Structure 1
């Protein structure tokens, strides 16, 4: 039962038991001495001696525990976190042998192990880097080729979720809502015509023509739908290349792991690796949830433990009032930047669609989520997403005594955070996403496999920040 408690807490409870046991033995010894004394022997001196002993003994136990905690328990916790970081995230970190100097040969042995692993990992990483560069070059050639073809291509898995889209398809989808992998096609188009086309595959196994329209019937596209057997369907939309790319050049966005759709489970039972995450950040007019407003929103998406390149939300937000100069000095967002930007209702609805069916991730989430929930009535949506806070994730992995600021966490996880992007919504969102990607394998290494396991673990650190999951 006690194995579920942290090492430091178990050691503290051990010293408490030791102090209580000593007090009990002292009480027994004094009681025995009093019982062996003459009749009518006063109990006052014995009681005074017991109280004095208990007080001094508790102080001694507390002092020894503090020394033990500082020189043994904390170094062990830090050493185990460093080893997990090296083993599961590939982050190069040096073992702090000075902090672990009272652990005997454990720290030097751990240091030797990490150095041996480093040389092996570096050799493997060099080979992977060469192969990755070759695949990247091929992907860039394929992207350039598809961009020149006046057909928007979308690959759907058997659950009719988006597995791949090219630059032309991204432009088409963006006219309706932010494009995103794993999104159901029904989030963008009316599915009536698509269902009819799928029924036509039996008499006509080739591509079937379909007339697509969005939910409001204000946009229409001519398309063809082709069955790919057990791999799903390919949707090819005819577009005008001169008019179809208002959002600029995009890479080919895909994740073929999505072809096999994961079985839908209750969120608490879903494995961490099967969840979609949207790390985000907001810049504001100040630090009050009740009275300040958002001036910039930035977000990225994480699928299958990887940041989805090309799926980014970055927008200024017009707060409807001047931005204080003290706030501008921090995030560098000026009144001129937000003058023509959408209001929070419009920007919030777009972000809500971008984060649909995802777990929201933020650093100090109660602030950012609180700002969104305060104005959700204006947006006409509900911010009832599951939420993770990287402050609490850091505490679960590295312990509560470490510094859990975003800068400290990024430094610990070897996440590069250029100063020019610090305190920008997208820059901090990107840093949060990269930290999350490195934290997930560390959490799984600690036996935290599902979202429910993770929520239970973060709630043990509720004194740091409130957990926002009901």
Structure 2
């Protein structure tokens, strides 16, 4: 059978339908004829019609099940693999088992995938050379900044942070959680910044001023220097630098933000214009109404890229004994959480980390239920928009597929080391990488704005609660 073409296989379904329907009608007429001898012609015709109707419905259902199992579902799975290969640049070999009844369609799809792989290899070599060049430039920039004994922050014309170095990260950490694309006003007093910007615009030259923390408790001697495009460089002199002059000074930056303003979640905004906070939790159990969080892991995504260095990997003291069965899964023990902050402190820190962002999680209702239960203790409101990678998977691959995190990693080519599975940061990292690879797939289906994606996920509301 496997050597036959797809057209011939579909033809056979119709042949079976015709032959089966004929057989059903003939058998029904035979029974009706025998019934008419005993009870009259009318009774016989009624019996024949009834048997024919039930027989034809059953035959149609059976043939449809065979067609769905052997033709429709494999074609849908094959299409999903090709979309992943085309838009997410993930090599996904065509399964011979899945395509065994699709005739030449499977080998043809594999041939297209192989051709794409060869083209991708050529492109990858060019990208590799360009990446090496950019890496050298980054090393030069880092070496240059290492010689400058100040903390440095670049801010665009919309007062969003575009770049900060390692020393600036230490300064920002005293005032909040360091975040790329965050408003500079989340860290420093608006009055101090406004007065300094006014002087900067009047003079067009570097100005010195005292930068006050937003609470007024911290004060830093700072300088503001104008940049092309309306932004400025903020340099902060510390009396006791946290990094030595010769120490490595990592950079966190995205220069694309120089031409972009704030990206508050809006239904009309493009997906890539939004900032995302991807998180996961480990808990004492699976009951959000009474179990507690023992670990929070989170990352940020800006401009469709995971921001290196902006992570939360926080143990949380649950205020109760962690069951041995739970520790066996996530490897967090009572000894590890001794001295760790409680959920009120840890949750408030994650809330600040996610400020102005769309929250992303795998099976978000579970994790969010723990956070929302303690919202009053944290002194926050969890009103961030939320995307769930389970629902996004259903949108992209259909409800017949498996939507576990492991299945998504396998489908989208995300490698998750076994030692990191079932750790909060490890699962958050995997979810973030999966989500980044989903973005081009969503756009390829015409779902380019946040509102369009939310509307589409609501069609799969039977899978999970709508968190928006």
Structure 1 residues 49, 322: CA separation in 2 closer, same or farther (over 3 Å shift)? same
- Counterpart contact for 1:262–1:274, Cα < 8 Å: no
- Secondary structure of 1:322's partner? coil
1:356 offset after TM fit, Å?
0.7
Structure 1 residues 265, 240: CA separation in 2 closer, same or farther (over 3 Å shift)? closer
- Counterpart contact for 1:163–1:256, Cα < 8 Å: yes
Matches within 5 A, 1:243-322: 243=242, 251-262=250-261, 267-322=266-321
1:468 offset after TM fit, Å?
1.1
Matches within 5 A, 1:44-443: 44-240=43-239, 242-243=241-242, 251-262=250-261, 267-443=266-442
1:53 offset after TM fit, Å?
2.3
Structure 1 residues 124, 321: CA separation in 2 closer, same or farther (over 3 Å shift)? same
What is residue 457 of structure 2 aligned with on the other side? Answer: 458
Please report the TM-score for the alignment, with normalisation by the length of structure 1.
0.87
Rounded to whole Å, the distance in 2 between the matches of 1:140 and 1:338 is: 38
Rounded to whole Å, the distance in 2 between the matches of 1:372 and 1:404 is: 23
Structure 1 residues 68, 172: CA separation in 2 closer, same or farther (over 3 Å shift)? same
Any stretches of 5+ residues in structure 1 without a counterpart? 1-14, 31-40
- Counterpart contact for 2:265–2:358, Cα < 8 Å: no
Rounded to whole Å, the distance in 1 between the matches of 2:213 and 2:44 is: 89
1:436 offset after TM fit, Å?
0.5
Please report the TM-score for the alignment, with normalisation by the length of structure 2.
0.88
What is the RMSD computed on CA atoms of the aligned residues? 2.6
1:291 offset after TM fit, Å?
0.7
Over residues 123-154 of structure 1, what are the superposed CA-to-partner deviations in whole Å (9 max), with x where a residue is unaligned? 21122123213322431342244245221111
Structure 1 residues 141, 321: CA separation in 2 closer, same or farther (over 3 Å shift)? farther
- Secondary structure of 2:101's partner? helix
- Secondary structure of 1:385's partner? coil
1:90 offset after TM fit, Å?
0.9
- Secondary structure of 2:203's partner? coil
Rounded to whole Å, the distance in 2 between the matches of 1:420 and 1:57 is: 55
Rounded to whole Å, the distance in 1 between the matches of 2:227 and 2:131 is: 28
Aligned length: 437
What is residue 5 of structure 2 aligned with on the other side? Answer: none
- Counterpart contact for 1:150–1:240, Cα < 8 Å: no
Q: Does 1:446 align with 2:445?
A: yes
Rounded to whole Å, the distance in 1 between the matches of 2:351 and 2:313 is: 13
Over residues 216-255 of structure 1, what are the superposed CA-to-partner deviations in whole Å (9 max), with x where a residue is unaligned? 211111101122242411111112464369xx96620111
Instruction: Tell which deviates more after alignment, 265-274 or 203-212.
Output: 265-274
